[in-house]
Amino acid sequence: MENRNILKKDERIDQLYSQDVRIIQNPHYFAFSLDAVLLANFVRPNHRQKLKIVDLCAGNGAIGIFLHDKLGGTFTEVELQPQIADMAERTIMLNDLQDRYTVINDDIANVNDYISKDSIDIVLCNPPYFPVTAQSQKNPNKALAIARHEIATDLVTVIQKMSGLLKMNGHGYLVHRPDRLGEILQVCQENRLAPKRIQFIHPKPDRDANILLLEVIKDGRPGGVKVVPPLIVHGADNEYTPAIQELLYGK
């Protein structure tokens, strides 16, 4: 499909050169951030052709699309907001991936109306990070407020749905904020998800981590959590570090 025929008002196409994919973006509704690239990088490769993968709170489908080469099987993208789900559908078409990707435009609370429990190998989620405040309720851009704040869903719902979808020994991947780590681990363990791997992302070498990546296994054995080496996003010169440049642009 030609680019000019696939875009709507205020939309643009951004490219993730390292994965050779293009993503439809609209800053008024939703645009993927570095968080999506980092989560996709954190996922372990698995090329089994029968894999079933679900991306909850999928936005414009960026994380799933970034994983087209790293994971085999089929992807289901679940996104609540119709305009953003529509962007995800057109992004799939833009990359000629219709045979492997489908979009569900609904609340993740209803995901089992479409997908059976205990049937999925990998569940991904880049959820809203921030608890609801008076300020977030007043955000004039409702689409962005829903993407960033726990207005339409919350951490407990995300973890419950991730656990419910996963098969025994299925893998879940989550990107979130380090200041909620204690809460995240508690909710995971209350929902049969054993934390197995954690990575912290720091904006600069001398700054506290501001992004957390977590891998969990459903009904996994307790213990054995690995904290893998951190990633630093910017050097002292404010430029991307070589590791981040490689994630974005390839070698």
Q: Is the pLDDT of residue 53 over 70?
A: yes
In this structure, what are the phi and psi dihedrals at residue 204, rounded to the nearest 5 degrees? -145, 165
Structural domain of 101: 3-249
Confidence of residue 25 (pLDDT cuts 50, 70, 90): confident
Q: Is the pLDDT of residue 227 over 90?
A: yes
- The one-character DSSP state at 112 is G
Of 29-38, 136-145, 220-229, give the lowest mean pLDDT range.
136-145
pLDDT on residue 151: 45
CB contact set of 180 (below 8 Å; sequence gap of 6+): 129, 155, 212
Instruction: Give the span between the Cα atoms of 198 and 212, in whole angstroms.
Output: 7
pTM for the model stands at 0.89
**Partner residues linked to 48 by β-bridges:** none
Q: Is the pLDDT of residue 5 over 90?
A: no
Asked if residues 202 and 232 have their Cβ atoms less than 8 Å apart, the reply is: yes
Asked if residues 124 and 54 have their Cβ atoms less than 8 Å apart, the reply is: yes
Instruction: Give the span between the Cα atoms of 51 and 49, in whole angstroms.
Output: 6
Residues 69-125 have pLDDT tens digits of 999 999 999 998 899 899 999 999 999 999 999 999 999 899 999 999 999 999 999
Asked if residues 144 and 136 have their Cβ atoms less than 8 Å apart, the reply is: no
CATH number, residue 181: 3.40.50.150
Work out the mean pLDDT of the chain and round it to a whole number: 88
Instruction: Give the span between the Cα atoms of 173 and 11, in whole angstroms.
Output: 29
Instruction: Give the span between the Cα atoms of 228 and 243, in whole angstroms.
Output: 15
pLDDT on residue 57: 87
Instruction: Give the span between the Cα atoms of 147 and 224, in whole angstroms.
Output: 33
- Cα first-last separation, the chain: 29
Q: Alpha helix (H) ranges present in the chain? A: 3-6, 34-42, 62-66, 82-94, 134-137, 142-148, 155-165, 181-190, 242-249
Instruction: Give the span between the Cα atoms of 198 and 192, in whole angstroms.
Output: 17
Structurally, the chain folds into a number of domains equal to: 1
Confidence of residue 251 (pLDDT cuts 50, 70, 90): confident
Portion of the chain with pLDDT greater than 70, in percent = 87
Residues 180-223 have pLDDT tens digits of 899 999 999 999 999 999 999 999 999 999 999 999 999 999 88
Portion of the chain with pLDDT greater than 90, in percent = 70
Confidence of residue 43 (pLDDT cuts 50, 70, 90): very high
Confidence of residue 141 (pLDDT cuts 50, 70, 90): low
Of 51-65, 142-156, 172-186, give the lowest mean pLDDT range.
142-156
Confidence of residue 144 (pLDDT cuts 50, 70, 90): very low
Q: Is the pLDDT of residue 127 over 90?
A: no
188 or 151: which carries more pLDDT confidence?
A: 188
Q: 120 by DSSP, 3-state: which? A: strand
Instruction: Give the span between the Cα atoms of 248 and 100, in whole angstroms.
Output: 23
Instruction: Give the span between the Cα atoms of 147 and 248, in whole angstroms.
Output: 23
